[in-house]
């Protein structure tokens, strides 16, 4: 499929892009283009209204297609604006970050922040398409690349399609060890592209079965209960780090916390014993799922430990929009997504102390 030809088949096309990728967005064609600074602080209802006003001023009608070019903030925000403009027009994503390619740009969750509450206003509206161009990742800073890679690891822990988990760990640990990014070699880019396709197929399959997150789709929140709490804690707490974790880094930490919780509840399976044919297992070889994940993530260059105590995160976990009040009792229930093994997770409702 040719992106230009696809875009030309729509009667009206508008582009909204993050300023950092404006030059790239202009390559899509000579379409009216609105640029803005994409960040959590501009991911607001006000910016969504500005996008709608700009669409109106430029004569966008109900047949128009809006293209979001950028990372997850851009795809969430533009998708939200498209979902409310004239009661909803079509939009498509051209993600420019790994995170948006494997997660945010797929599945039709759109949204903006409301004050300190992340993604508190939003809608489900599926994009017309999400165009994956892994070459674009050449200009992505390493930390942002790793942040997206954490979501890719998350996806393969949910469904280890095409042995994606081990292949992603290998790709990232080679990157960490050599300093050569997979996007800078043709073999690396080919492998990365295959992994992006596999991860996006896993997500698309889950979303096709549960587009509105009534049940199964919740598995995609693996690690996110802790991740959202960490993000909130670093935003609020006086002792928060000067260099806060990115969303993906917080997800990596959250996945390990989820594995520990799964072990505590007896849900995680023991790791398979090393085969007798292999050389004597090293005493430091991981014995539990959480240990394996922590060793793999550390080799990939991802953080693995909570930045504060579980107690400090408890309040943040309870205030997350995914924590639900249980009927009839004053307590709240959190649907934890817990890994059983690599390739299998379960959803477990746990009551929080009231």
Residue among 229, 254, 73 at smallest CA distance from 157: 254
58 given a catalytic annotation:
no
Nearer to ligand GLY among residue 52 and residue 82 (C-beta): 82
Options 22-30, 213-221, 226-234, 283-291: segment touching ligand GLY (CB under 6 A): 213-221
For the CB of residue 77, give the shortest distance to ligand GLY in the complex, in Å: 15
For the CB of residue 204, give the shortest distance to ligand GLY in the complex, in Å: 11
228 given a catalytic annotation:
yes
Position 107 contacts ligand GLY (CB under 6 A)? yes
* CB contact at 8 A, 321 and 338: no
- Contacts with ligand GLY in 84-103 (CB under 6 A)? 103
Annotated active-site residue in 87, 214, 243, 327: 87
User: Between β-strands 109-114 and 117-124, what pairing exists: parallel, antiparallel or unpaired?
Assistant: antiparallel
Q: Count interface residues toward ligand GLY (CB under 6 A).
A: 6
Position 230 contacts ligand GLY (CB under 6 A)? no
Annotated active-site residue in 125, 203, 218, 261: 203
Tokens of 318: 């309870």
SS3 347: strand
SS3 163: helix
The answer for residues whose C-beta is within 8 angstroms of residue 242's C-beta and 6 or more apart is: none
* CB contact at 8 A, 47 and 77: yes
For the chain, list the strands marked E by DSSP. Answer: 13-18, 33-36, 65-70, 90-95, 109-114, 117-124, 324-325, 332-341, 344-352
For the CB of residue 217, give the shortest distance to ligand GLY in the complex, in Å: 5
Contacting residue, 43, 90, 109, 247, with ligand GLY by CB under 6 A? 109
Position 254 contacts ligand GLY (CB under 6 A)? no
209 given a catalytic annotation:
no
How far is it, in rounded angstroms, from Cα 268 to Cα 259?
7
Nearer to ligand GLY among residue 22 and residue 213 (C-beta): 213
The answer for residues whose C-beta is within 8 angstroms of residue 137's C-beta and 6 or more apart is: 96, 97, 98, 101, 145, 183, 192
Contacting residue, 82, 98, 140, 220, with ligand GLY by CB under 6 A? 220
109 given a catalytic annotation:
yes
How far is it, in rounded angstroms, from Cα 186 to Cα 56?
43
Q: What residue has token string 């004053």?
A: 330
Annotated active-site residue in 90, 113, 151, 261: 151
Position 228 contacts ligand GLY (CB under 6 A)? no
How far is it, in rounded angstroms, from Cα 194 to Cα 151?
15
Nearer to ligand GLY among residue 130 and residue 181 (C-beta): 130
Q: Which residues are catalytic?
A: 87, 109, 151, 203, 213, 217, 221, 224, 228, 247
Which residues sit at the interface with ligand GLY, rule CB under 6 A? 103, 107, 109, 213, 217, 220
């Amino acid at each position: 499929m040719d992106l230009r030809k696809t875009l030309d088949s729509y009667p009206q096309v508008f582009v909204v892009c993050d300023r950092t990728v404006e030059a790239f967005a202009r390559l899509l064609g000579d379409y009216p283009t609105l640029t803005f600074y994409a960040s959590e602080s501009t991911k607001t209802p006000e910016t969504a209204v500005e996008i709608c006003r700009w669409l109106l001023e430029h004569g966008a009608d109900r047949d128009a297609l809006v293209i979001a070019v950028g990372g997850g903030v851009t795809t969430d925000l533009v998708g939200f604006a498209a979902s409310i403009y004239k009661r909803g027009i079509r939009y498509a994503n051209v993600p420019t970050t790994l995170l948006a390619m494997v997660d945010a740009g797929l599945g039709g969750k759109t949204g903006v922040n409301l004050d300190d509450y992340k993604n508190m206003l939003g809608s489900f509206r599926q994009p017309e398409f999400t165009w994956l161009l892994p070459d674009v990742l050449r200009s992505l800073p390493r930390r942002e690349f790793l942040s997206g890679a954490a979501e890719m690891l998350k996806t393969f822990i949910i469904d280890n399609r095409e042995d994606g988990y081990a292949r992603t760990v290998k790709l990232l640990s080679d990157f960490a060890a050599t300093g050569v990014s997979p996007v800078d070699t043709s073999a690396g880019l080919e492998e990365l592209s295959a992994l992006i396709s596999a991860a996006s197929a896993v997500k698309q399959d889950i979303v096709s079965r549960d587009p509105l997150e009534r049940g199964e789709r919740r598995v995609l929140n693996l690690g996110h209960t802790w991740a959202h709490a960490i993000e909130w804690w670093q935003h609020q707490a006086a002792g928060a780090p000067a260099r806060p974790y990115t969303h993906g880094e917080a997800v990596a930490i959250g996945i390990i916390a989820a594995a520990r919780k799964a072990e505590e509840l007896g849900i995680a399976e023991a790791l398979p014993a090393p085969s007798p044919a292999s050389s004597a297992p090293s005493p430091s070889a991981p014995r539990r799922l959480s240990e394996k994940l922590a060793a793999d993530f550390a080799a990939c260059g991802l953080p693995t430990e909570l930045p504060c105590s579980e107690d400090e995160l408890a309040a943040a976990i309870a205030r997350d929009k995914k924590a639900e009040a249980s009927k009839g009792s004053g307590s709240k229930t959190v649907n934890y997504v817990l890994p059983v093994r690599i390739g299998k997770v379960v959803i477990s409702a746990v009551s929080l102390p009231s």
